[in-house]
Amino acid sequence: MPNLLIIEDDAAFCQMLQKFLTKRGYEVETSFNAPDAKQKIQKSNFDLILTDLRLPDYDGIQLLSDIKAVNPATQVIVMTGYAEVGSAVNAMKKGAFDYISKPFTPDEIVMVLDNAMKVEAKIPAKVEDDEEIEEPVNVGVSTPPVRSRGSKVVKGISDASKKLDDYIKLVAPTDMSVLITGESGTGKEVTAKAIHDNSKRRDFNFVAVDCGAIPKELATSEFFGHIKGSFTGAVEDKVGNFEAANKGTLFLDEVGNLSYENQIQLLRALQERKIKRVGSTKEINVDVRIITATNEDLTDAVEKGNFREDLYHRLNEFSIEIPSLEDRFEDLMLFAENFLDKANASLDKNVQGFSKEVLEAFQQYHWPGNLRELQNVIKRAVLLTAGNEVEISALPKEVLQPQEKVTVAEGFSKSEFEKERIIKALKKTNFNKSKAAKLLQVTRKTLYNKINHYNLDL
């Protein structure tokens, strides 16, 4: 029976939770204040701790650190209000397993607790100031190994991100060819690298190639290499991408841009697992896993005769569609905090967070450029910020005026735009109002008020 401690100053709510979770098979103790909780943590080893971030007598983040200092293996879930998402993200940096926004349903809290029980707690390694650390796999956000400042893992909490993570873990140990699809800026190369890092090939090279940037006349040389003097400009021997990725992974981005001739050469190399450098008669055996990506519809290209069907099936043994940022909107502030840390490290700044107005602007904007756009907006804003917080004046005008753009393009008023967002969120969550409120990043009460205000027939 899992041993759980609830730390919550609202005694009635705390006791209600205790009663409910006891019926669900948890052995539950409660604390109404931090001093009492710290005593219980010293006396007992808890499997799980569910704590409110806002306690009247103690800082919630400090309490999290105290818990981890006593027992790093304890999984901690923090409860937070709608306006405290930034604090919850900070708690996850400090080792919390997850956060849940109030108000929440019984099913939601049980799901979070059950998930925490399935995962072994991560014990943060102590890193000296000048020691370089290598990040674990970071799905959806490109974070290379960096020094300790600004270093962390982003793990999406949305259903779309969790499904993506499941697919990566499922296909990574195999040698199957993977086709990654999705909108521009969603992080297709990062997903490819995550597959490589979780595979048996992780100790060998991951070679990324942008097929859209290679002239078709040079593609053969780029893929297979050449020998000195084989053509004008070949002043020395060159190792191609296939050889460079031997025993590792070759990632071909925008594979749909390859010419028909290059597609034939690629297919032959994949079938025979042998290549020849340009100008050479010697065959070289290669053992390469292929991961490809495109933001085009390759099935449409096959139907039109622009892409070989046999190559398409060779590349598409397993497909993964990367969700847009709009489809994993619950992760927005997790990604924003990560990009803030990266921008601070890159620009040697120390911006601590975002103003309330900036957070509201982020949540209103639809992010057509996905994660890449979010990262660029935050880096620019950090550069322009002189104080501790990113202010609204540091954001570009397109982020500040999403409703105006819709009004011009589609003749929508602000209220119509808001109604559309609510209906879209409800449809995405199968009309679960609690989940829709979380997706919209408003309280459930606010969502109900909006539904009544707009007389939405649901």
Residue 390 has pLDDT above 70, yes or no: yes
Residue 125 has pLDDT above 60, yes or no: no
Q: Has domain 325-453 been given CATH number 1.10.8.60?
A: yes
Q: Which residue has the tokens 């942008």?
A: 210
How far CA 146 is from CA of 152, 352, 392, in Å, comes to 9, 19, 29
Total-model pTM? 0.59
Domain range 3-118, CATH architecture: 3-Layer(aba) Sandwich (3.40)
Kindly state which CATH superfamily the domain 159-321 is placed in. P-loop containing nucleotide triphosphate hydrolases (3.40.50.300)
Token digits for 41?
């943590």
Q: What is the pLDDT of residue 398?
A: 86
Token digits for 95?
């080792």
Residue 148 has pLDDT above 50, yes or no: no
How far CA 403 is from CA of 118, 250, 366, in Å, comes to 42, 42, 10
Q: What are the DSSP calls for 332-401, one per residue?
A: HHHHHHHHHHHHHHHHT----EE-HHHHHHHHH---TTHHHHHHHHHHHHHHH--SSEE-GGGS-HHHH-
- Tell me if domain 3-118 and domain 159-321 are identical in fold: yes
3-class SS shares of the chain: helix, strand, coil, % to 5: 50, 15, 35
Kindly state the percentage of the chain with pLDDT values over 70: 85
Domain spans, the chain: 3-118, 159-321, 325-453
- Report the pLDDT averaged over residues 147-169: 70
Q: Are the CB atoms for 31 and 55 separated by under 8 Å?
A: no
Token digits for 138?
């970071």
- Report the pLDDT averaged over residues 365-372: 89
